[in-house]
């Protein structure tokens, strides 16, 4: 029920932003990618090897739609085996932002699918669940088209039955941003 409400609210925000006039603002498209570190609070496990990539389309002077994909990996030593853990997420949503000089501050909410895989003793288990991810970040303009980004997200993971037992994950990203259209 909460997931359905969030989907409806996100759809309403996107439709309202798309209908708003851009006031001579050229729509801009940006792509981003870089390093990503994830911490799973439920299992107390860091996943230090990771990446994130995506794109954002500016619809108004303060709102953009965003798509985000990420992967995180680690190996954990147990008594007599190694456990390999992998997560991949594909999410989409909205971002509000404000520019102050060379800085662009933003807050975003994305939601989508999270696929987690664990392998131990040669046996692999995979689980795909719904997750949503609020986050904040800042871009520092290096040129008129390139920026460096620092971002912090909290991923709320649902379990298969729709409860919140899946836990929370914390993600830190350092990325480069390339703006295909100038702002």
Q: Which domains does the chain have, with CATH numbers?
A: 2-179 (2.40.160.20)
Q: Print pLDDT tens along the chain (183 aa).
A: 444 544 554 454 444 444 444 444 568 899 999 999 999 988 888 999 999 999 999 999 999 999 999 999 999 888 888 889 999 999 999 999 999 999 999 999 999 999 988 888 888 888 889 999 999 999 999 999 999 999 999 999 887 654 446 789 999 999 999 999 755
Query: Rounded distance, CA 32 to CA 140, Å?
Result: 13
Token pair, residue 37, equals: 């570190």
Contacts of 91 (CB under 8 A, 6+ apart): 67, 68, 69, 110, 111, 112, 113, 131, 132, 133
Q: What Å distances lie between residue 4 and 1, 68, 89, 128, 158, CA to CA?
A: 5, 20, 19, 18, 13
């Amino acid at each position: 029920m909460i997931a359905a409400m969030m989907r409806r609210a996100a759809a309403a925000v996107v439709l309202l932003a798309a209908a708003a006039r851009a006031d001579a603002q050229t729509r801009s498209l940006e792509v981003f990618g870089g390093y990503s570190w994830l911490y799973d609070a439920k299992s107390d496990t860091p996943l230090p090897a990771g990446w994130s990539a995506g794109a954002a389309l500016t619809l108004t002077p303060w709102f953009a739609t965003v798509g985000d994909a990420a992967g995180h990996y680690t190996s954990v030593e147990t008594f007599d085996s190694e456990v390999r853990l992998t997560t991949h997420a594909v999410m989409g949503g909205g971002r509000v932002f404000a520019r102050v000089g060379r800085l662009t501050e933003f807050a975003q909410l994305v939601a989508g699918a999270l696929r987690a895989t664990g392998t131990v003793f040669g046996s692999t288990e995979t689980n795909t669940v719904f997750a949503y991810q609020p986050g904040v970040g800042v871009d520092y303009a290096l040129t008129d088209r390139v920026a460096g980004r620092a971002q912090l997200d909290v991923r709320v993971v649902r379990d298969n039955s729709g409860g919140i037992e899946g836990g929370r994950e914390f993600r830190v990203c350092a990325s480069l941003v390339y703006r295909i259209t100038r702002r």
